[in-house]
A and B are shown apart, each in its own frame.
Chain A
């Protein structure tokens, strides 16, 4: 049925030469028409100030605003037109549904966009395949999963070059696929040219998760109070756990990068000592990447049922789960790397990492990339004068 609708839409687009809205996009358009006549939520985030610069909402505007929305939920609880009102305004949910659609629509190669549709299954299969791959490899290479302690020498199990050979193409492909997807998204938004100030602002907004503060401008004497989760009470915990996750992930990534430098530039062979830079970075990052996803999961299961798109929960939780298990297996590996369980732990860790990288362009990770693009578009747009002269009289 959905396919039929999509085909009909394409046929009509060909006939009329204009891009027609999907049902999800049309719903965002309908709601924004109401929001634009009300504007009470203008101070929460960037979506509403961006909205007020428009009178009509075309496909590109809707994609942009949907990805600018951080699904914080503040506007839903503040909304005088939220269900059970007959206007049934639920901006976070309508935006989430379009976001899910944009990830799939902009995926490269296009055929793989379908992986978003049943993302829980996609992630589960990727995880199973990743684990199986490394477990089987370990057995093939060593003949057994349990071995005499190897003093933490991972490369005694999987030779360094083999790992490079396996991970580099997957990583490069993920970067390429995400890059091509977001490039098309960027062009469709016709964003204009980014000044250094705009780039700086967008970067800062993303790194600080500014739009989970609960206000786009904190008033003097006030503190950020965050955004709602299970009810209308604001909390900063989503922002904090997201920071732990993101910065934990980046520290782990930094650990790997430093280790790579050690290996190639300084010819220092792993394993590195407990107080070495890669291990320290990995440990701190790993703890962040354990607490962050655990907290996000905890918040996710308690989240108000009207927030976001329920159909995307498997994708959200699957991604959170992968990050958590990467960290868990990584830390376990560190603790027990001198025991006979190292091969097993290493295989588990690499299996989860492989599953994450393989699914990066087709899972929740994409939200970060599209969100940053939308933030940059906003940072460019807000510096331009508005075309409208709505009566300020």
Chain B
């Protein structure tokens, strides 16, 4: 019989498979995607948030455990499990040598991400290169990998894993790691979770999925139906405002639009609806998905003038470019008069101090609702640019409750041989919010842990059987 079955094909799944294999277990990985789309959302990631007490190869200064924990506490608003969080944090301080052994390489923080050079170790070539390295290493070590193998349901017996059903096949194993992600690719589920708004719209119908199309949440739903304990708000997801022309799936990082704080954002009625300069963009980009989702048609328009060019990461799609505000309104399909009035009101309210995009400067508006509290400069220099925005879902928070062995729970009881890792249990640590690279920290830490525990469970059972 197979020792360890790993369901999923992203970072957490591969970490589990590699650890289980290294512990001497026979391992089969079932990835629902075809080979060219393997890796789930990990293929779109770029770094790992790492605790470290002194400068390391690609990491500057230090990022001690306590600071990391405080950051996590802040972004989650307390919706985290300190024990599990600290476990992941500590794991991040020493997992990189193991990652290197399996072919992962690191690079210094990318241009435009200087703010992450202290806290985040970037993967050379990004997450897909990391995934490729793990698959190569897994194949070399004799891990069996099957693509296009979505698992429909698990066969459980009193909280114990017995077999997985994959198409018409029943696959038995001594232990199982579920690392099959959240449900963000399941549009019907998203629709249900988000519900209908007052205007009768189903907002989720207008969301793009920033990552893989294969996170259908099949096992999440199956496990919940079989009584597994859950964690995380079932209606919540991490979402950012992305270019409205982004593809429906796998738009990844490049579809973000980073000029919000340099101009104004209006909805489809050409009205502003939130303080664009509330805080630094890396601290605010993640609330804009939700903000746009609450606007009519789930659409918004980020508008800047020529002064902003060269001050933000270049967007993937060129913006609409116009020599006058009127013309820009026409190109964006906005009401011309309303748009020009909104911009004129904003321009008139701007109190320009000393513009500095690197600090929370003193350029702000007065007597305007909503206010723009920093970096407020009139839009007065042609050409003007406009980018249509829509919400892009990164991941969902609903998942399996686990303990410090990564074991799935049923009615408060830990399963002896069913473990969870990655996005499907990230809600234990990250019940809300996000901070760069923490998803990969959780996936790596709990993937490795789940693999070790699964191998232990499988090999102990094996020894027991042999003795009997």
A-side residues, CB < 8 A to B, are 33-34, 36-44, 49, 52, 55, 74-75, 77-81, 84-87, 214-215, 217, 219-222, 225, 232-233, 387-393
Residue of A nearest to B124 (CB): A43
Stretch at the interface among B145-153, B227-235, B252-260: B252-260
Residue of A nearest to B42 (CB): A80
Does B57 lie within 8 Å of A40, measured CB to CB?
Answer: no
CB contacts (< 8 Å) of B113 on chain A: these are 392
Q: Which of B96-150 contact A (CB under 8 A)?
A: 100, 105-108, 110-115, 122-129, 132, 136
Stretch at the interface among B310-318, B406-414, B459-467: B310-318
Distance of B41 from chain A, by nearest CB (Å) = 10
Does B128 lie within 8 Å of A80, measured CB to CB?
Answer: yes
B-side residues, CB < 8 A to A, are 36-37, 43-44, 46, 57-58, 100, 105-108, 110-115, 122-129, 132, 136, 247, 250, 252-256, 258, 280-282, 309-316, 318, 357-359
Q: A37-B313, A390-B312 known; A78 and B126 CB under 8 Å?
A: yes
Does B112 lie within 8 Å of A222, measured CB to CB?
Answer: no
Q: Can you pick out 17 interface pairs between chain A and chain B where the beta carbons lie within 8 Å of each other?
A: A39-B111, A42-B111, A52-B111, A52-B112, A75-B125, A77-B125, A78-B124, A78-B125, A78-B128, A78-B129, A79-B128, A80-B128, A219-B106, A389-B357, A390-B310, A390-B314, A392-B113
Does B106 lie within 8 Å of A38, measured CB to CB?
Answer: no
Does B309 lie within 8 Å of A391, measured CB to CB?
Answer: no
Distance of B380 from chain A, by nearest CB (Å) = 20
Interface of A is mostly: loop
Q: A37-B254, A85-B250 known; A387 and B112 CB under 8 Å?
A: no
Does B281 lie within 8 Å of A77, measured CB to CB?
Answer: no
Distance of B53 from chain A, by nearest CB (Å) = 17
Does B112 lie within 8 Å of A392, measured CB to CB?
Answer: yes
CB contacts (< 8 Å) of A77 on chain B: these are 125, 128-129, 132
Q: In whole angstroms, how far apart are the Cα atoms of A49 and B107 in the complex?
A: 13
Does B112 lie within 8 Å of A39, measured CB to CB?
Answer: yes
Q: In whole angstroms, how far apart are the Cα atoms of A43 and B107 in the complex?
A: 6
Does B309 lie within 8 Å of A389, measured CB to CB?
Answer: no
Residue with the greatest number of chain A CB neighbours at <10 A, chosen from B46, B125, B255: B125
- Which of A85, A86, A232, A391 makes the CB contact (< 8 A) with B281? A391
Distance of B126 from chain A, by nearest CB (Å) = 3
Does B310 lie within 8 Å of A388, measured CB to CB?
Answer: yes
A-B contact count (CB 8 A): 131
Does B105 lie within 8 Å of A222, measured CB to CB?
Answer: yes
CB contacts (< 8 Å) of B253 on chain A: these are 37-38, 40
CB contacts (< 8 Å) of B280 on chain A: these are 393
- Which of A42, A80, A391 makes the CB contact (< 8 A) with B110? A42
Does A390 lie within 8 Å of B313, measured CB to CB?
Answer: yes
Does B282 lie within 8 Å of A393, measured CB to CB?
Answer: yes
Given contacts A80-B252, A81-B254, could you give 16 more A-B pairs where the C-beta distance is less than 8 Å? A37-B315, A39-B111, A40-B46, A43-B122, A44-B124, A52-B111, A74-B129, A77-B128, A78-B124, A78-B126, A78-B129, A232-B129, A390-B310, A390-B314, A392-B115, A393-B115
Does A220 lie within 8 Å of B57, measured CB to CB?
Answer: yes
Q: In whole angstroms, how far apart are the Cα atoms of A217 and B57 in the complex?
A: 11
CB contacts (< 8 Å) of A391 on chain B: these are 112, 258, 281, 311-313, 357-358
CB contacts (< 8 Å) of B58 on chain A: these are 219
Q: In whole angstroms, how far apart are the Cα atoms of A6 and B224 in the complex?
A: 63
Distance of A273 from chain B, by nearest CB (Å) = 50
Residue of B nearest to A54 (CB): B314
Distance of B394 from chain A, by nearest CB (Å) = 14
Q: In whole angstroms, how far apart are the Cα atoms of A225 and B100 in the complex?
A: 12
CB contacts (< 8 Å) of A392 on chain B: these are 112-115, 358
Does B126 lie within 8 Å of A40, measured CB to CB?
Answer: yes
Residue of A nearest to B37 (CB): A84
Distance of B285 from chain A, by nearest CB (Å) = 11
Does A232 lie within 8 Å of B311, measured CB to CB?
Answer: no
Does B314 lie within 8 Å of A80, measured CB to CB?
Answer: no
Does B125 lie within 8 Å of A44, measured CB to CB?
Answer: yes
- Which of B108, B128, B250 makes the CB contact (< 8 A) with A217? B108
Distance of B304 from chain A, by nearest CB (Å) = 13
Residue of A nearest to B39 (CB): A80
CB contacts (< 8 Å) of A220 on chain B: these are 57
Q: A81-B254, A86-B247, A219-B58 known; A74 and B114 CB under 8 Å?
A: no
Residue of A nearest to B259 (CB): A391
CB contacts (< 8 Å) of B57 on chain A: these are 219-222
Residue of B nearest to A41 (CB): B125
Distance of B370 from chain A, by nearest CB (Å) = 21
Distance of A226 from chain B, by nearest CB (Å) = 12
CB contacts (< 8 Å) of A38 on chain B: these are 126, 252-254, 316
Q: In whole angstroms, how far apart are the Cα atoms of A38 and B313 in the complex?
A: 9
CB contacts (< 8 Å) of A388 on chain B: these are 310-311
CB contacts (< 8 Å) of A39 on chain B: these are 110-112
CB contacts (< 8 Å) of A86 on chain B: these are 247
Residue of B nearest to A53 (CB): B111
Does B124 lie within 8 Å of A215, measured CB to CB?
Answer: yes
